[in-house]
Amino acid sequence: MKIKKYEQYSLVKIIIILFGLLELIGTVYLTKEKIVNYKTLNAIVYKKDLGILLVTQEERNNIYHNSILYIEDEKKKYQIKEDRGIVLKKNHKNYYELLIEFSMPKKYQKNDSITITVKERKKSILKRLREVKEAKK
């Protein structure tokens, strides 16, 4: 068997090893690196510093695990004053009503709608890519 010119070069072997290492590092990065996602929710102003949220079970768990929310890009601390349980069932989903207390901007009056942003749990980049792939189906 005759050896070809490019097979004699050790540079080709080094490049193959480097690409293998790069692929390994990329795989580890995709599985270990986490991304924080934010969820926007609508609330109704109940009193001066109280708001009512109508949320699903997943959103309710996120609210219970967090203590910070964002209103108009301002970071605010909140407390859950009351959990009124399931108040609505729609499309086989349960919706819960939460009464939360937080410092509200003065421009909001009783019965106004307010947009609140809450952090979701961190997920790996690979899980996010799978979610996008499933959503396209």
Domain spans of the chain?
Answer: 7-33, 35-126
Question: Distance between CA 39 and CA 69 in Å, rounded?
Answer: 10
Phi, psi of 134 (to 5 degrees): -70, -35
Alpha helices in 33-56 (DSSP H): none
Q: Judge if pTM exceeds 0.75.
A: no
Provide the CATH topology of domain 35-126.
Answer: Elongation Factor Tu (Ef-tu); domain 3 (2.40.30)
Question: Distance between CA 136 and CA 128 in Å, rounded?
Answer: 13
Decide if pLDDT at 122 tops 90.
Answer: no
pLDDT of residue 6: 63
pLDDT of residue 127: 84
Decide if pLDDT at 118 tops 70.
Answer: yes
Length of the chain: 137
Question: Distance between CA 71 and CA 86 in Å, rounded?
Answer: 25
The β-bridge partners of 124 are: 34
Q: Enter the tokens of residue 90.
A: 């729609």
Spatial neighbors of 104 by CB under 8 A, at least 6 apart, are 45, 48, 49, 51, 71, 114
pLDDT of residue 106: 84
pLDDT of residue 7: 63
pLDDT band at 99 (very low <50, low <70, confident <90, very high): very high
